[in-house]
């Protein structure tokens, strides 16, 4: 989906160069799941303009409708978008490290941010574009009521715009984690980092990332390691924190190469259709095999069928909302969705 991404060497844009030591390689990891605040902020970016929107179409229309029907659209426009602009900079405080412990932990960290840091980061936003609106200026001035309103707006936006889609989003994250796990098994952390090509280029000890902006950036990890965070709403280029002293993270887009043919609401309302599509022992065996994460050729070999037959079965499972398929270089990797895992679990219990 989307336009083909050229090789890094062909793009004449500034680079983010991440410098590793041996200690950093040992401490590099892929996040266990989607980060709630990164997804929230990057989803706001998808609402602001058309860039990358075709990749999240199944979310975009329904999210806008739900925001409008619940009366939250003004809050999004007047509170959230002004402090999370689609630009080269948005405040680090919106994506705190506490997000790894869950959404509420992140919100509490935002509410407890020292006023000096809040003012400094919003001050940068104020110098860009249309600047800050009246509410955002009161937030920068340390108004406690504005802080409570920010927390309320973040919770409301997540509940209305993101939670209905969260299971689908996590299915894509799980598919990406299977792919990264295979890279680690095949080549350790070097295999993991090489596996991001052409999105990034690993030439030990530097990971080079296309990073549009005014100039090249060098990030020295200094033994802290790097946490790689897959993101559904990240578009085209990876994103890092602006402050190099914060715990290093690199958020990367995971949706390119993901095949989706299911309807958004099928997972909750189409049980009868799903079961109808699954009639037959071979397809049930295919679903069981996909639980381990398999390519089309691996599935064919495991079930002793042709690759064409395996491809047909995965297409039906995908259209039923039970699996997600991801292009992994020369292969297509199949993994379960939440609905697929639940159905498989129910079958095993039965």
Please answer whether residues 342 and 286 qualify as being in contact, where contact means their C-beta atoms are separated by less than 8 angstroms. no
Q: Which two tokens stand for residue 117?
A: 């840091």
CA atoms within 13 A on the CB side of 337: 28
**Spatial distance between the Cα atoms of 322 and 206, rounded to a whole number of angstroms:** 39
| pLDDT computed for residue 11 by the predictor | 41
Q: Cβ contacts of residue 194 below 8 Å, gap of 6+?
A: 183, 187, 202
Q: Which two tokens stand for residue 346?
A: 């129910």
| pLDDT computed for residue 224 by the predictor | 97
**Tens of pLDDT, residues 89-120:** 899 999 999 999 999 999 999 999 999 999 99
| pLDDT computed for residue 283 by the predictor | 84
Nearest to 249 by CA among 118, 92, 112, 109: 92
Q: Cβ contacts of residue 224 below 8 Å, gap of 6+?
A: 24, 27, 247, 248
User: Any idea which residue has 């110098």 for tokens?
Assistant: 127
Q: What is the DSSP letter of 280?
A: S
> What does the angle CA 133 – CA 70 – CA 152 come to, to the nearest 5 degrees?
50
Nearest to 282 by CA among 309, 319, 264: 309
**Spatial distance between the Cα atoms of 323 and 321, rounded to a whole number of angstroms:** 6
Paired residues of 252 in beta bridges: 230
| pLDDT computed for residue 226 by the predictor | 98
CA distances from residue 268 to 164, 272, 319, 347 in whole angstroms, order as listed: 10, 11, 14, 17
User: Any idea which residue has 């790097």 for tokens?
Assistant: 226
CA distances from residue 121 to 98, 140, 148, 227 in whole angstroms, order as listed: 18, 9, 18, 23
pLDDT 10s per residue in the chain (350 long)? Answer: 333 334 444 445 789 999 999 999 999 999 988 999 999 999 999 999 887 777 788 789 899 999 999 999 999 999 999 999 988 889 999 999 999 999 999 999 999 999 999 999 999 988 876 668 888 888 888 788 999 999 999 999 999 999 999 887 887 787 788 888 888 988 999 999 999 988 899 999 999 999 877 789 999 999 999 999 999 999 888 999 999 999 999 999 986 545 544 433 333 334 444 444 454 678 888 888 888 788 888 888 888 888 888 888 888 888 888 888 887 677 888 888 887 887 776 655 44
Number of neighbouring beta carbons within 10 Å of residue 265: 12
**Tens of pLDDT, residues 255-302:** 654 554 443 333 333 444 444 445 467 888 888 888 878 888 888 888
pTM of the predicted protein model: 0.77
**Spatial distance between the Cα atoms of 186 and 205, rounded to a whole number of angstroms:** 19
**Spatial distance between the Cα atoms of 291 and 277, rounded to a whole number of angstroms:** 18
Number of neighbouring beta carbons within 10 Å of residue 53: 16
């Amino acid at each position: 989906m989307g336009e083909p991404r050229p090789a890094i060497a062909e793009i004449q844009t500034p680079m983010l160069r991440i410098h590793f030591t041996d200690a950093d390689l040992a401490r590099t990891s892929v996040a266990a799941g989607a980060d709630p605040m990164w997804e929230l902020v990057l989803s706001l970016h998808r609402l602001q303009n058309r860039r990358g929107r075709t990749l999240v179409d199944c979310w975009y229309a329904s999210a806008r409708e739900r925001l409008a029907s619940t009366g939250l659209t003004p809050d999004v426009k007047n509170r959230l978008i002004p402090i999370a602009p689609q630009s080269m900079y948005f405040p680090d405080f919106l994506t705190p490290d506490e997000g790894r412990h869950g959404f509420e932990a992140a919100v509490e960290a935002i509410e407890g941010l020292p006023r000096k840091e809040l003012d400094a980061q919003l001050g940068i936003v104020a110098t860009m574009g249309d600047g800050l609106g009246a509410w955002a200026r009161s937030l920068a001035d340390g108004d406690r009521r504005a802080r409570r309103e920010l927390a309320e707006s973040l919770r409301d936006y997540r509940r209305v715009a993101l939670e209905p889609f969260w299971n689908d989003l996590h299915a894509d994250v799980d598919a990406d984690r299977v792919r990264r796990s295979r890279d680690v098994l095949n080549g350790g952390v070097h295999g993991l980092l090489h596996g991001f090509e052409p999105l990034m280029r690993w030439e030990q000890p530097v990971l080079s990332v296309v990073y549009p902006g005014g100039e090249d950036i060098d990030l020295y990890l200094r033994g802290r390691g790097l946490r790689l965070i897959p993101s559904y709403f990240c578009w085209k280029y990876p994103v890092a924190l602006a402050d190099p002293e914060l715990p290093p993270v690199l958020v990367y887009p995971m949706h390119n190469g993901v095949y989706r043919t299911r309807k958004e609401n099928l997972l909750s309302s189409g049980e009868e259709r799903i079961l109808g599509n699954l009639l037959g022992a071979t397809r049930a065996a295919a679903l069981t095999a996909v639980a381990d994460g398999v390519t089309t050729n691996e599935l064919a070999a495991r079930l002793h069928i042709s690759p064409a037959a395996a491809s047909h079965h995965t297409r039906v499972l995908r259209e039923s909302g039970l699996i997600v398929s991801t292009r992994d270089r020369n292969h297509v990797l199949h993994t379960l969705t939440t609905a697929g895992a639940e159905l498989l679990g129910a079958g095993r219990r039965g």
